[in-house]
Amino acid sequence: MTAAASARQILTRLHEVMASRLHAQGKLDQVVEIIGECLSSEVCSIYLLREGMLELYATRGLNKTAVHVTRMAIGEGLTGTIADNVETLNLAEAKAHPDFSYRPETGEDKFHSFAGVPIVYRERAVGVLCVQHVDPRRYEEVEIEALQTTAMVLSELITNAELVDEEEALSLSPQQSGTQTLSGLTLVRGLGAGVAAYHQPRVQITQVMADDIEAERQRVYRAFDKMREQIDGLTNQADFGVGGEHEEVLETYKMFAYDEGWSRRINEAIDSGLTAEAAIERVQQHTRMRMREIDDPLLADRMHDLEDLANRLLRIVSGQIGTAAQQGLRNDTILIARNLGPAELLEYDRRRLKGVILEEGSLTAHVVIVARAMGVPVLGRASRARSTIREGDEILLDATAATATVRPSGQMADAFAQRFAKSKERQAAYAELRDVEPFTRCGTRVTVMMNAGLRDDMSALAMTGADGVGLFRTEFQFLVSATLPQRERQLKLYRDVLDAAGDKPVIFRTVDIGGDKSVPYLASDIADNDENPAMGWRALRLALTREGLMKAQARALLEAAAGRSLYVMFPMVSEVWEFDAAKKVFDEQLEFLRSKKKMVPEQIHFGAMLEVPALAEMLDLLVPRLSFLSIGTNDLTQFLFAADRGNPALAERYDWLSPPIFRFLRRVVQGTVGSNIDLGVCGEMGGRRLEALALLGIGVRRLSITPAAVGPIKELVRKVDLAEITDAMNQWLSEPGVNLREALAHWAAEREIETE
């Protein structure tokens, strides 16, 4: 008989038992008999979780008097170890295992071999199914698979019959629900507490046994087709990121997605009588077990990829394909994902989203910029997140300290709440600076503006007292939209933003799409095959060729600012003619509006972003054309160091606060001296205190930063003497081998200037 046929025989018999009118205990008693017989095992036992202990519920072969008497703690003995680790054990000689614990009342001393599998509910073990045999032999793979299948059926039975308390199952014993600390990399500082939700929720399997095997086969067949299609089209998806490490992952995805062995094993599991969902999960359990036996970190990574893919397949087959955002957040939530795109993050309800934990992620990736703008703390590079955190776990996220506490104790939660209150107090202190102008100690007024991208962001202008919006990322409207926003929609947004800003200036940056900000409806335009999208067909390059796009935006901006001042900034200007060409589009639209006797802006100020290093060599020609110039350090630094801003592996490799970057920036500042141009920095760098200090020290007098940083940076500005920091920076930048970060921190500490 084939493995599938023997498993099917077991399942058919289990099916009869499950469908019978027996009460739950009666069914368990039958199950141990069937399994014992089919696997020729003298002993078969079922332990279920009750009041935090594993209690012997049914047995064939052990003393019946031990039923409901023998109880093991999670982690105690072989049974407890299986539950604790949620993993299978298969031993020829049970007594040789270090965790073996002998229970005399069971009469198990004569049995040598032992195999046990966890009964899993929502990723937690709620019981253990085990078999024992007199002969010292390891069980065959097909036998272990039969046990695992039975355990799935039992999981359905015991939860339906409420044999284990669901609440208890989810909170479990100290070992399974014990506190764990994850560490990673601070991407957006801040504290947040909530329950864990996976961006792509795990699928709950509700039916294990198939009613129609052929139908299940067809379902899985179609799901494979769809998954392969998705994987093939994944290269350009924002959630997957681009370049470097991602390509390797994609290759692995492809390898697994087309792996005949994998689909064959799933089909065999279906042949044994399982539904498509149960079959996928069964095969996955089995693979997990095999992988655990091989202690190799590279394989562990691949296992992650396979888990992703199995989850994807399960989601397709079950139709449970929504993200947590689409299902709606019900509680204060900490979102868990491998990586996210900016548009995906924007789908979440800001009031409930209290933090994000990413297994990947890097400091200047757009998703992080969006999170910062939303005021959501983000911990990145938390590589163990998915193996540690389960859906619904309580989490205290301290992104500032780059840690997350999973399943905290009451005491920890209290201490966290106190810190939370303190940090709120600090924020309140910054709020008091709202109406205080940021003059330096020596009396120079520094302009502190904020970055924004959505209508909602504008409320931060009044809250922070920022001097205006130094960078309005107009592409955010494109990112959150399912279709290309038409001119009318753009016009409405820009008008609302200007209304909200009142007298304060708003610098609108024309669309910067491409790179890690891809929009599906423009995908065919944004060269699908760009190998280096950040250096590819994006921003102004794209806008200048999609003339309609640029014209529509120009018209929308000109009309929105009718009768007021309009500030327009072009992204990724690499050569002077690009600025001229972009301005020409605006000039033509202005002419058109005038010819139609429409009201136009009172003044229009054109500016450029300096984020492509080549432009720095052309300042003498560029500057006379501009009324302002903003240095985009997010892109500039990635190009200067040739280090992709979205690549997690490079996230910690180079420090922005380094002599080459600051020497370069100083040269740009000096290149504008003597002109009337308004020079500023609008990259994330300006929102960090040490970096801001260094920027002041090389002559930058206008910063545009994330709203949350406005208070802290104003406070910093008020403590600085510009002549002093300028001297210090000149000194450090002229010495070889200076650690700029340390030097600045020391300098600030001497003057009691806070830098955290």
Of the pair 77, 687, the CB lying nearest ligand PEP is at 687
Which whole-number Å values give the CA distances from 328 to 95, 351, 406, 419, 443, in the listed order? Answer: 50, 12, 22, 29, 50
- In the shown chain, the binding pattern of residues 599 to 638 toward Mg ion, with x for contact by CB under 5 A and - for none, equals ------------x--------------------x--x---
Three state DSSP letters for 390-446: CCCCEEEEECCCCEEEECCCHHHHHHHHHHHHHHHHHHHHHHHHHHCCCECCCCCEC
Q: Which of 635, 644, 691, 715 binds ligand PEP (CB under 6 A)?
A: 635
Of the pair 28, 612, the CB lying nearest Mg ion is at 612
Of the pair 572, 716, the CB lying nearest ligand PEP is at 572
| Binding segment toward ligand PEP, per CB under 6 A, in 352-360, 371-379, 631-639, 735-743 | 631-639
CB of 507 to Mg ion, least distance (A): 13
Query: What is the per-residue burial (b if ≥16 Cβ within 10 Å, else e) of 346-358?
Result: bebeeeebbbbbb
- In the shown chain, the binding pattern of residues 379 to 398 toward Mg ion, with x for contact by CB under 5 A and - for none, equals --------------------
| Spatial contact of 285 and 309, defined as CB atoms under 8 Å apart | no
Q: Site size for ligand PEP, by CB under 6 A? A: 11
Crossing angle of the two packed helices 245-257 and 297-318, in degrees rounded to 10 = 60
Residue numbers 512-541 binding ligand PEP by CB under 6 A? 512
Q: Which residues contact 345 (CB under 8 A, 6 or more apart)?
A: 356, 367, 370, 371, 374, 376
CA distance 128 to 316: 30
Residue 634 is a binding residue for ligand PEP (CB under 6 A):
yes
Which whole-number Å values give the CA distances from 380 to 452, 510, 643, 648, in the listed order? Answer: 22, 29, 18, 9
CA distance 213 to 717: 71
Contact of residue 216 among ligand PEP, Mg ion, none (CB under 5-8 Å per partner type): none
Contact of residue 277 among ligand PEP, Mg ion, none (CB under 5-8 Å per partner type): none
Return the biggest CA–CA distance within the chain.
100
| Angle, vertex CA 238, rays to CA 234 and CA 243, nearest 5 | 75
Of the candidates 122, 121, 139, 95, which has an alpha carbon nearest to the alpha carbon of residue 130? 139
Which whole-number Å values give the CA distances from 417 to 177, 194, 330, 331, 414, in the listed order? Answer: 21, 12, 21, 17, 5
Of the pair 683, 697, the CB lying nearest ligand PEP is at 683
CB of 648 to ligand PEP, least distance (A): 17
Of the pair 190, 632, the CB lying nearest ligand PEP is at 632
Relative to beta strand 394-398, strand 43-50 is unpaired
CB of 645 to ligand PEP, least distance (A): 8
Phi-psi bin for 674: left (phi > 0), alpha (psi -120 to 50), beta? Answer: left
Residue 438 is a binding residue for Mg ion (CB under 5 A):
no
Of the pair 184, 632, the CB lying nearest Mg ion is at 632
| Binding segment toward ligand PEP, per CB under 6 A, in 257-265, 627-635, 655-663, 722-730 | 627-635
Of the pair 201, 632, the CB lying nearest Mg ion is at 632
Of the candidates 642, 648, 552, 554, which has an alpha carbon nearest to the alpha carbon of residue 600? 554
CB of 527 to Mg ion, least distance (A): 18
| Spatial contact of 410 and 181, defined as CB atoms under 8 Å apart | no
Q: Return the structure tokens found at 246.
A: 């991602």
Q: What is the enclosing helix (H) or strand (E) of 118?
A: strand 113-121
CB of 571 to ligand PEP, least distance (A): 7
Residue numbers 214-253 binding ligand PEP by CB under 6 A? none
Residue numbers 349-378 binding ligand PEP by CB under 6 A? 369
| Binding segment toward ligand PEP, per CB under 6 A, in 23-31, 402-410, 629-637, 739-747 | 629-637
Q: Compute the Cα dihedral for 217, 220, 225, 226 and give only its sign.
A: positive
CB of 632 to Mg ion, least distance (A): 4
CB of 673 to ligand PEP, least distance (A): 22
Of the pair 632, 712, the CB lying nearest Mg ion is at 632
Number of H helices, E strands in the chain: 30, 22
Query: What is the per-residue burial (b if ≥16 Cβ within 10 Å, else e) of 560-594?
Result: bbeebebbbbbbbbbeeebbebbbebbeebbeebe
CB of 421 to ligand PEP, least distance (A): 33
Of the pair 201, 514, the CB lying nearest Mg ion is at 514
Of the pair 83, 636, the CB lying nearest ligand PEP is at 636
Contact of residue 633 among ligand PEP, Mg ion, none (CB under 5-8 Å per partner type): ligand PEP
Q: Return the structure tokens found at 424.
A: 């709120």
Contact of residue 682 among ligand PEP, Mg ion, none (CB under 5-8 Å per partner type): ligand PEP
Of the pair 380, 683, the CB lying nearest ligand PEP is at 683
Of the pair 219, 366, the CB lying nearest ligand PEP is at 366
Contact of residue 359 among Mg ion, ligand PEP, none (CB under 5-8 Å per partner type): none
Closest residue to Mg ion in the complex (CB) = 635
Q: Which of 408, 468, 505, 632 binds ligand PEP (CB under 6 A)?
A: 632
Residue 471 is a binding residue for ligand PEP (CB under 6 A):
yes
CB of 185 to ligand PEP, least distance (A): 18
- In the shown chain, the binding pattern of residues 197 to 236 toward Mg ion, with x for contact by CB under 5 A and - for none, equals ----------------------------------------
| Binding segment toward ligand PEP, per CB under 6 A, in 355-363, 403-411, 487-495, 632-640 | 632-640
| Binding segment toward ligand PEP, per CB under 6 A, in 35-43, 99-107, 167-175, 630-638 | 630-638
Contact of residue 268 among ligand PEP, Mg ion, none (CB under 5-8 Å per partner type): none
Of the pair 36, 241, the CB lying nearest ligand PEP is at 241
CB of 658 to ligand PEP, least distance (A): 16
* Alpha helices by DSSP H, 641-706: 659-672, 689-697
CA distance 643 to 638: 5
The end-to-end CA distance of the chain, in Å, is 69
Residue 473 is a binding residue for ligand PEP (CB under 6 A):
yes
DSSP 641-656: TT--TT-GGGTTTS-S
Query: What is the per-residue burial (b if ≥16 Cβ within 10 Å, else e) of 371-394?
Result: bbbbbbbbbbbbbebbebbbbebb
Residues in the chain: 756
Helix (H, G, I), strand (E, B) or coil at 339: coil
Residue 686 is a binding residue for Mg ion (CB under 5 A):
no
Residue numbers 668-687 binding ligand PEP by CB under 6 A? 682-683
The residue ranges that bind ligand PEP (CB under 6 A) are 369, 471, 473, 512, 611, 632-635, 682-683
The residue ranges that bind Mg ion (CB under 5 A) are 611, 632, 635
